[in-house]
Chains A and B, each alone.
Chain A
């Protein structure tokens, strides 16, 4: 294989493995803020126990996120040097802003969140938890802004020619608020909230099935389900907005999502199926006019097909792969709405904790957001191909000029072995934590935390 293919494999490998963790940190961050907030408000120590337990899970996911994240920061330079020279002026600023505004905030207050329980007062600790959560969200903002610029470049001009050409910022805020950035940010955040909420849901449902830590599990499940349902419903709204943006700004990608070759008015939405790339058609059940309606809010609006948007094969992404990834994400998205609504309905009626099949479903629900988050990013990135920066720079032109195939291969082997080891250890420790359960001692807050709040107690 050549350097280009190997570099793409390396990037896919390292980014997908990394992306297991940040959504969990963002989502669990929200959950921790809610738990501690409820504790401060109600004085009920069950919330203290919950916050303490989920903080430990958070610490584990955070450590994995940091360890695998530093790879990403350097990989643009190691494998995509030509790309880095081309976009550094624009893309680099977003990465540097992420460091200054997000990572310092996150890692600084993480110390108080993890080790400060008995060193600072309740309110200060709650403040630190909020800051960690905010930092995690800031980091999502800057990285999605950077990536969105690669999807819908804005606020720049090209300086120089040929090999010396590069993008330079002309308008910082136009670059930050590129046409897709806010929709994609919201979409990414909803996915992250789902990831965190359903992890809480899953572990709590497991305890209920095993008849352990019941009080803890019921309260965690209730909160998780609540956040999960809201995030899943918001995800529907944001997914729709995102897709409309893709239709407008990246018609080739939208056509690939749906396997649409011919520009059609009253374009149908394919529920699931297969793209026959050879004969340029899609096979599967369709809802007539639905794609036109979703993309342009009008059943008769024409939707651009691939033959018009990208007439030659070399300007198209791999259609069937993009189609399948996109449909997998959408399918799971609807699945999560169904699971959380049914779960909430049963909870409302008071019968959730007796319905064992439902609890089993909730145990498995943790996989949903993880798979959908991965599939969604794959669809977004594969769907942008053959471009690394939409319309400006091809992926094949972005790769480092000086690296060799066998060196990249060694790096892939090295990263793969390290990541397999880390993942095994992560699962082992997470499982250990889950089997161990919450600490009973946390029901009686000690030290500075024991001080009753004014008005509470």
Chain B
């Protein structure tokens, strides 16, 4: 296909954003349920929560894998700089994701108490650590990291754990916990569901506090991440949409409309990622203290030819992917019932 009239670099900036937003919306609730896992006490409740995500978590994780692959193909310099620069953080993320994955699969295979306990801890720790590290990575990208003239990272692992990135890490956990609790509400019934309703309020409060602190910290210490909204006040509507979406969650839950609450939570995530993308554009990784070394959609991108090929692949692949993702969620709709195939 011929895309020569299009700004492929910007399109891929958006598409990478779409992939990571998709990941946050989908695997976000898996990780959130993981973070909530240890708060449930009875084995049956834990199994219900695991089976709520059982058929879908694996496909949700593919959004991250594909996002990584797309980043590699569209912006190889970002992929190379971020992954090698955040080396140890990514190794920890990988170990965390490994434990999350195998814990889901292995836990139910044996009845022993110690066995289940071990994988419960693995599942929960893996989920929380993954969420924190994803937030920390985003925090660093927004805060700015030291890059040299070739775009190579010149900092250390410990320098990545600054207060602002850590704050974003905690906020991500809070966001995913809220999101996961809502998803769990859709999939459960009876006493567990009633208890989850109580938790949702706590997770919403937790998230709103984190969100408020993050917003203030951003305005005070990371002004470049609010510059575009300041210059174009109408963009403030996205922030308003975000707040309305969050405010809508307790309202929908109160009326028993769990699905709408979930959609609200997704809208909040889209708005957050939208703001993040708007403020970053056209940069992909900000350099600090030498802003000229930042990686942007031009100096980090693959050739026009490759971006065009990738767009063709995306145009063929994405509709198909969406079609069967929707069918899978449809097949497994409704409340979780434990049977002999369950985890």
Q: Which residues of A contact B (CB under 8 A)?
A: 59-60, 63-64, 66-71, 73-74, 76-79, 81-82, 84-85, 87-93, 95-101, 103-105, 107-112, 114-120, 159, 163, 166, 168-170, 172, 400-403, 407-408, 410-411, 414-415, 418, 422, 425, 429, 432
Contacts and interface: CB of A to CB of B under 8 A. Distances in A.
Given A67-B102, A163-B150, A402-B153, A81 B80 contact: yes
Nearest to A142: B69
Nearest to A71: B94
A66 B61 contact: yes
A176 B153 CA distance: 32
Nearest to B332: A111
Contacts of B94: 70-71, 74
A391 B197 CA distance: 62
A168 B302 contact: yes
Q: Which 9 A-B pairs have the closest CB atoms?
A: A88-B76, A77-B83, A92-B73, A99-B66, A111-B55, A100-B317, A81-B84, A92-B72, A63-B105
B77 A96 contact: no
B328 A89 contact: no
Interface in B78-126: 79-85, 87-88, 90-91, 94-95, 97-99, 101-102, 104-106, 109-110
Nearest to A88: B76
A70 B93 CA distance: 10
Contacts of B212: none
A328 to B, nearest CB: 30
10 contacts: A70-B65, A77-B84, A92-B70, A95-B69, A97-B69, A101-B313, A111-B54, A111-B59, A120-B331, A411-B88
Contact of B58 (A96, A111, A159, A401): A111
B237 interface: no
A52 B298 CA distance: 52
Given A77-B72, A81-B83, A97-B317, 10 more contacts: A66-B61, A66-B101, A81-B81, A84-B76, A88-B72, A92-B302, A99-B68, A104-B324, A400-B87, A418-B95
Contacts of B95: 414-415, 418
A403 B85 CA distance: 7
Nearest to B303: A168
Contacts of B66: 96, 99-100, 103-104
A59 B105 contact: yes
B105 A77 contact: no
Interface stretch (B201-209, B214-222, B284-292, B304-312): B304-312
Interface residues of B, number: 67
B90 A114 contact: no
A99 B99 CA distance: 21
Contacts of A168: 302-303, 305-306
Contact of B98 (A60, A70, A90, A401): A70
Nearest to A175: B309
Nearest to A79: B84
B74 interface: yes
A96 B70 contact: yes
B56 interface: yes
B234 interface: no
B73 A88 contact: yes
Contacts of B152: 81, 401-402
B328 A84 contact: no
A73 B87 contact: no
A66 B58 contact: yes
Interface in B115-170: 150, 152-154, 157
Nearest to A124: B331
B80 A84 contact: yes
B56 to A, nearest CB: 6
Kindly name the residue among A60, A64, A108 whose own CB sees the greatest number of chain B CB atoms within 10 A.
A108
B160 to A, nearest CB: 12
Contact of B314 (A68, A100, A114, A118): A100
B91 A414 contact: yes
B101 A95 contact: no
B341 interface: yes
B324 A78 contact: no
A78 B72 contact: no
A159 B306 CA distance: 13
A67 B77 CA distance: 26
A400 B68 CA distance: 17
B339 interface: yes
B107 to A, nearest CB: 11
A97 B90 CA distance: 23
A89 B302 contact: yes
A64 B55 contact: no
A119 B314 contact: no
B321 interface: yes
B40 interface: no
B68 A100 contact: no
Contacts of A103: 62, 65-66
A12 B76 CA distance: 23
A79 to B, nearest CB: 7
B325 interface: yes
B90 A96 contact: no
B231 interface: no
Interface in B316-337: 317-318, 321, 324-325, 328, 331-332
A92 B87 contact: no
Given A103-B65, A414-B91, A67 B101 contact: yes
Contacts of A81: 80-81, 83-84, 152
Nearest to B91: A411
Contacts of A91: 72
A407 B156 CA distance: 11
